[in-house]
Amino acid sequence: MRTLLLVILFLCGARSRAKSRPNFVLFMADDLGIGDPGCYGNKTLRTPNIDRLASEGVKLTQHLAASPLCTPSRAAFLTGRYPIRSGMASQSQVGVFLFSASSGGLPRSEITFAKLLKTEGYSTALIGKWHLGTSCHNRTDFCHHPLSHGFDYFHGLPVTNLRDCKPGDGTVFTAAFQLLVFSPLQVIGITLLTLAVLKYLGLLRVPPAAFFCLLFLAALILVLLLAFLHYFRPLNCFLMRDHDISQQPMSYDNLTQRLTADAAQFLQRNAETPFLLVLSYLQVHTALFSSEDFAGKSKHGAYGDAAEEMDWSVGQILDVLDELKLANNTLVYFSSDQGAHVEEMSIRGEVHGGSNGIYKGGKANNWEGGIRVPGVLRWPGVIQAGLEIDEPTSNMDIFPTVAKLAGAPLPEDRIIDGRDLMPLLRGESQHSDHEFLFHYCNFYLNAVRWHPRNSTSIWKAFFFTPNFSPEGANGCFSTHVCFCHGRHVTYHDPPLLFDLSKDPRERNPLTPTSEPQFREILGAMQQAADRHTETLRDVPNQLSLGNIIWKPWLQMCCSSPSLSCQCDREKQDGTGSR
């Protein structure tokens, strides 16, 4: 009887503990600007469900992405660590993964909040975009896959949504084609013409083999270009369900509805147990897409249509939480992986990027427009409704916040750069736990933010800034994104200093004349940067050239005998999430 009583008490305690721990629904948009949602001031883009979250919870007005690019920002979000610590910060111009058959990715040694919650008995799912790698050595080791990082279930896109994934929407490889295809073809053409003229004039004896070799080389380049254009979409733009390809190439038809329905089904199936759902939207990264119900309905063209459909999806999930009576026991978070891509234009000249509000710059640079993102959290009865917090916070903060609420101890064998948000959200603290934040442009420390404990000032010092082009523009339109080193940046000595509390648009850099403590402020920020740098360790570069190039032995294909890679198991299976 005593043993039976102990078992009953244990089971009751476990059940009570499970009920006391919240569920988590984390919405992550792609390239959504802080000026896009209505709750952040947009008057024409309709986002009633995101606005509802803000009115029922807390709106962060200085919420910062740890990186202004997709891959490193998402690595930081999941691990609570600056991406340079995990090797997810590129030293070259390419800062993200472009191919499904690349060997780089989030190392298995990294601990995500999904891993921590899984050990605490949570059901975990990631639905939507991953963009943190798939396999290392062969196509079935799945070393970087979501299921290797704590998620029980994955349904979505292993890489990212690109223009090349949607026929007729152009390509992101224009610069590469110019360098590797069109320029060599021009050289070959000029060489052929020159040799032909010299031979015709009798000034040079040119063997036929020389012409043949040049023509063969030109033909080979053209064949490789045509093969790339033909095969890129099926080989890189596909959906997976767990470890299996479910649709190749990916179809945009009702894609948001399909992923949203799967997310809702996951909630319904796990309503009796603690759960973590990360709904990682493909919107509003190009290629832009929307279903028939939303196409042409917004005041902002294709971009607005996509954003409004994403907002609809948020509302569907909130409705499911209400129906299951789980809203009061679920922490909901909405954000974007970085700011809007201001240089994004369609092949027809339409603006396909969003709004960063009053802030300068955008995706791929560390001006405020590139890293200041929407940040909304709701937990009825715990977080005060309608609260607005203007303290510096980071998407890395979700890691320790979620872990602590779930009862999972933080790992002690590594530095966690995020800070628990709950004291700030509950009103127990009025000051951010981040005195310093470090803004990286890929591998390179670009800027430091300092919010002194005894001051309302928020200092930001740039060691270098991107060279916008054309001159006077608000982005790097000639290269489509800004780069982080070499001729693409201007270095500053002394660093460029701003007080964001007075100059959030970053228009007026301070000088020793305009700021009496100019040198003392920069000295303190440099010391903080030096202390931070001392904590870094050498780790394998996951975004090295060798790790981002396409490797045929890693290529996944649902029809393995050829590279046709055509299948649609989304309709055939009709299976839902676990």
Listing DSSP states for 117-156 in one string gives HHHTT-EEEEEEE--S---SSSTT--TTSGGGTT-SEEEE
Q: Which residues contact 364 (CB under 8 A, 6 or more apart)?
A: 68, 69, 95, 338, 341, 370, 466, 476, 481, 482, 483
131 is catalytic: yes
C-alpha 4/C-alpha 435 separation (Å) is 52
Token pair belonging to 364:
């791929």
3-state secondary structure of 447: strand
Which is it for the CA torsion 195, 200, 202, 203, positive or negative? negative
Residue of 39, 63, 70, 451 marked active site: 70
C-alpha 157/C-alpha 134 separation (Å) is 11
439 is catalytic: no
How many CA atoms, within 13 angstroms, populate the side-chain half-sphere of residue 25?
Answer: 28
Pairing of strands 330-336, 372-378: antiparallel
Fill in the DSSP letter of residue 552.
G
- Taking alpha carbons only, the member of 141, 134, 147, 138 closest to residue 99 is 134
Segment (H or E) for 441: strand 436-441
C-alpha 310/C-alpha 318 separation (Å) is 13
- Taking alpha carbons only, the member of 114, 64, 71, 126 closest to residue 95 is 71
Residue of 39, 63, 131, 155 marked active site: 131
Segment (H or E) for 458: none
Which residues participate in catalysis according to the annotation? 70, 131
